[in-house]
Amino acid sequence: MAVELMNFPKIEDQKAIQEAASQGLQSMEHLIRFLSHQQQQSNNQLAHINYTDITDHTVPKFKNGISLLNRTGHARFRRNPFQPVHFPTSHPLSL
């Protein structure tokens, strides 16, 4: 197995990763705040909320951060090319 070392992420990549992580966390905080607020109000009034709209906004933020992290890995492992093993041919036994 061969190891290919990658350079550390550039400053621009680090900044993009930080921004994506920050956006993901902010949208998750918004979702948690909304769910908490909704739970408190559910005793007083029933409200029909489509939670998929909020989660559809939150999940891509995390996916963006994950894809940025995958792109800037420090090492990648590759298998060596397949090389068939050649065995010496056996000589048939004559009886």
Spell out the domain ranges in the chain: 2-78
List per-block mean pLDDT (blocks of 10 residues) for the chain, which spans 95 residues: 55 83 87 78 54 81 81 57 68 62
Find residue 5's DSSP bridge partners: 75
Largest CA distance in the chain: 98
Look at residue 46 in the predicted model and tell me its pLDDT: 43
What angle separates helix 11-41 from helix 51-71, to the nearest 10 degrees? 160
Look at residue 14 in the predicted model and tell me its pLDDT: 82
Look at residue 77 in the predicted model and tell me its pLDDT: 54
Look at residue 50 in the predicted model and tell me its pLDDT: 66
Look at residue 87 in the predicted model and tell me its pLDDT: 66
